[in-house]
Amino acid sequence: MPVNRRVTLAARPAGFPQESDFACDEVSSGSPGPGEVLVRVLWASVDPYQRGRMSEARSYAQPLEIGDVITSQSVGEVVESNDPRFSPAELVVGQLGWQEYAIARAGALRRIPPEVDPPSLALHALGATGFTAYFGLFDVGKPRAGDTVVVSAAAGAVGQIVGQLASIGGCRTVGIAGGPEKVRDLKELYGYDAAIDYKNDDVVAALRDERVDVYFDNVGGEISRAVQRRLTIGARIVICGQVSQYNAPKPEPSFHPGLLVVFRARMEGFLVSDYVHRFDEAARRLAAWLASGRINWREDVTEGLENAPRAFIGMLNGENRGKALVKVAERTT
Amino acid sequence: MPVNRRVTLAARPAGFPQESDFACDEVSSGSPGPGEVLVRVLWASVDPYQRGRMSEARSYAQPLEIGDVITSQSVGEVVESNDPRFSPAELVVGQLGWQEYAIARAGALRRIPPEVDPPSLALHALGATGFTAYFGLFDVGKPRAGDTVVVSAAAGAVGQIVGQLASIGGCRTVGIAGGPEKVRDLKELYGYDAAIDYKNDDVVAALRDERVDVYFDNVGGEISRAVQRRLTIGARIVICGQVSQYNAPKPEPSFHPGLLVVFRARMEGFLVSDYVHRFDEAARRLAAWLASGRINWREDVTEGLENAPRAFIGMLNGENRGKALVKVAERTT
């Protein structure tokens, strides 16, 4: 049984996470039981929702306990399989966590087909964040051709895909991100029709001539308040995340529901996990758009599992340019 | 031309309205032009939305100017008609305002059929607030039989109808209102399955065992925060009004949108005026339910146009028990 290096929760972060809130240890990988698969992790994902799991507050998922491996989607190769659906050396993706080896139930893994290249795409454009963009935009936001779709954290893992999907759907797209590099990506890589640098632009002024039919919100707070001034009658606000609130001791009430009467507007939250039965649909369509060059993507890769906490903290600070990932190991096969 | 007594806006209320924010004057009624109708007002409506019209802030409707007659729905009898659709002595309802005589375009009036008895029903259960309840609950809230529907300001003009419609639709209904008299009405008159007195009960504790599938919100603020703790997955929050905020200098942000992710919930605002093309549908169904005794109602009548400001201030204070109305004149015919 190989040695398994893991990153665990050492302490619940008080406000903004510190590296000392995480610990690195080594344990035996264990052996897979019946119906289980031992996976060697190659890539681990770094996502804002993980911050929620580190808090004690009950949410849509159980909080982590102190000492637990940090939850994440990871891509790995099968080392040993006790299930006929998987064979050694196959690439899989699943909720494997920040560790070098994971044992998973076969039914909780998805095989990564060879056309997903690089396989790390299964962690973003052709995985959870891509699916989040797809269902959040199309099923919740319901854009019509000609609509203006505004996206916050538009250069992030979800936002970069949302903008391109909205463009494919015939919408005008306005992306909001922090700093000139990300804003350049919004325009040159992700094809946003307009891009706003919230760190250097006056967001209210920049939106003055926009009419917001769909607001795909990843951040909440001040940026959302600026966008909401420009809603149209019948507008839809998709609540994907509220990253501006994740490190607050208590989320700040930031929204006045009366605004929804003024604009006869709808605000709706969703979780990608509710769409599992349609992941194949999203994967097929996203793959076709990637193959035809209609969807671009960017990864921000941190080398080494031990640096995952730093990558996570950096992402919460908005330092990543593209999907934040940790490269844990090279493929052996 | 008869003399027309009117109640006008004397000053924009600073916070809670005062009687001195209103003035009473007398002018000539004027004569109806082509396509217009002169109406003698019998009943004038008193509603929370009127507070919004008194503020300068742009909303879904133009604000009143100082000196304007206070906007309201009113019921009256036709005195003189320059339109073939209406004849003298017919009863009509329309946006006629707080005044004794009004000139209206014929197309903006609706005839009150004889079965609407008393005709003041055209101002509530068979009029704007009844339609508000009908479209807000069924079209926005989309309750299913077995759902629990919670209503704030449940003894108010809209709330009393919402609860009964939800019961007709096979839902469990929980009403929230202030004071023992209203709570008695909730149970005995409007058939709520459970009733909470927010002035005397601990609302959070009273809701502890409820699972809120639909929250029909007329008030916002603290009561809404208590209700929102008990949402179910996929819950719908119908924003009809936010009366707790109407006298605030600026509406207080009271809602954290991240809650919609936790519950994959939807919060949606609406205006009854967007459903004009379906008013006949609502009127027909509500009339049938009233006739069969499945919908009860209560009016809170203030005598005399000059007392309309007092009735309005009392309503904002929650002093009315049932739909707040002003009786302006007796029917002559």
- In the stretch 223-252 of chain B, residues with CB closer than 8 A to chain A read 224, 237, 239-242, 245, 251-252
Q: Can you say how many angstroms the Cα of residue B259 is from the centroid of all Cα atoms in its chain?
A: 28
Supply the pLDDT for residue A247.
Answer: 86
- Taking only residues 93 to 122 of chain B, the set having a beta carbon closer than 8 angstroms to any beta carbon of chain A reads none
Return the residue of B nearest to A232 by Cα.
Answer: B60
Sign of CA dihedral A322, A323, A325, A330: negative
What integer pLDDT is reported at residue B251 of this predicted model? 78
The reported pTM is 0.93
State whether A264 and B274 contact (CB < 8 Å).
yes
Q: Do A256 and B258 touch (CB under 8 A)?
A: no
User: Which residue bears the tokens 């008194």?
Assistant: B54
Q: What is the 3-state secondary structure (H, E, C) of A209-265?
A: CCCEEEEEECCCHHHHHHHHCCEEEEEEEEECCCHHHCCCCCCCCCECCHHHHHCCC
Choice among A138-142, B76-80, B246-250 with the minimum mean pLDDT:
B246-250
Q: Return the pLDDT at B101.
A: 98
> What does the pLDDT read at residue B58?
75
Any chain A CB within 8 A of the CB of B261? yes
Residue A36, pLDDT score: 98
Give the residues across from A148 on adjacent strands.
Answer: A172
Answer yes or no: is pLDDT of A250 > 90. Answer: no
Helix (H, G, I), strand (E, B) or coil at B19: helix
Residue A246: closest CA among chain B residues belongs to which residue?
A: B258
Residues of A with Cβ-Cβ distance to B254 under 8 angstroms: 253, 255-257
- What would the pLDDT profile of B19-62 be if each residue is shown by its tens digit? 999 999 999 999 999 999 999 999 999 999 999 999 988 788 88
Q: How far, CA to CA in Å, does A119 sit from each of A76, A103, B118? A: 9, 20, 72
Closest partner residue to B253 (CB to CB) among A253, A261, A274 is A253
Confidence of residue A194 (pLDDT cuts 50, 70, 90): very high
> For residue B57, what pLDDT is reported?
81
pLDDT at A289 over 80: yes
Strand partners, B269: B239
Task: With beta carbons under 8 A apart, name residues in chain A contacting B53.
Answer: none
Taking an 8 Å cut-off on Cβ atoms, the answer to whether A261 and B254 are in contact is no
Q: Is residue B91 over pLDDT 80?
A: yes
- Residue B295: predicted pLDDT: 98
pLDDT at A279: 95
| Predicted confidence band of residue A1 (pLDDT cuts 50, 70, 90) | confident
B window 40-79, beta carbon within 8 A of A: 59-60
Report residue A195 as tokens. Answer: 């891009």
B126-135 pLDDT tens trace: 999 999 999 9
Q: Which residue does chain B place closest to A60, by CA atoms?
A: B262
Contact A262 B269 (CB under 8 A): yes
Q: pLDDT tens digits, residue range A41-92? A: 999 999 999 999 999 887 888 899 999 999 999 999 999 999 999 999 999 9
Q: What percent of chain A has pLDDT over 90?
A: 93
Chain A nearest C-alpha distance from B241 (Å): 7
Domains annotated for chain B, with CATH where assigned, are 3-123+297-327 (3.90.180.10), 128-273 (3.40.50.720)
Within chain A, what is the greatest distance between any pair of CA atoms? 62
Average pLDDT over residues A232-257: 91
User: Between chains, do B267 and A266 touch, taking CB under 8 Å as contact?
Assistant: yes
Neighbours of B292 (CB within 10 A): 8
Q: How far is A274 from chain B (nearest CA, A)?
A: 9
Average pLDDT over residues A279-283: 96
Q: What is the pLDDT of residue A58?
A: 74
Q: What is the pLDDT of residue A252?
A: 79
Helix or strand holding residue B310 (H, E): helix B308-316
Give dist(CA B136, CA A177) in Å, integer: 36
- Bridging pattern class, strands A266-269 and A212-217: unpaired
Nearest to B261 among A239, A257, A263 (CB): A239
Sheet holding B172-177, edge to edge: A194-197, A172-177, A148-152, A212-217, A231-239, A266-269, B266-269, B231-239, B212-217, B148-152, B172-177, B194-197
Checking if the pLDDT of B333 tops 70, the result is no
Interchain CB distance below 8 Å, A240 and B263: no
Answer yes or no: are the C-beta atoms of A26 and A45 closer than 8 Å.
Answer: no
Residue A248 pLDDT class (50, 70, 90 cuts): confident
Q: Which of A256, A264, A269 is nearest residue B264 as measured by Cβ atoms?
A: A269
The residues near A21 (Cβ < 8 Å, ≥ 6 apart) are: A9, A10, A11, A12, A13, A54, A309
> pLDDT by residue (tens digit) across B174-218?
999 999 999 999 999 999 999 999 999 999 999 999 999 999 999
Q: What is the pLDDT of residues A99-124, one digit of tens each?
A: 999 999 999 999 999 999 999 999 99
pLDDT at B95: 96
Q: Do the chains contact at B271 and A264, CB–CB below 8 Å?
A: yes
φ, ψ of residue B235 in degrees (nearest 5): -65, 155
CB contact under 8 A, A259 and B274: no
Contact at CB, B254 and A251, closer than 8 angstroms = no
Residue A238 pairs with which residues in a beta bridge? A216, A268
Cα(A331)–Cα(A144) distance, integer angstroms:
43
How high is the pLDDT of residue A144? Answer: 98
Question: What percentage of residues in chain B have a pLDDT greater than 70?
Answer: 100
* A127-136, A150-159, B49-58, B204-213: least confident range: B49-58
Q: Identify which of A109, A64, A112, A128 has the alpha carbon closest to the alpha carbon of residue A323.
A: A128
| Residue pair A195/A183 in contact by the 8 Å Cβ criterion | yes
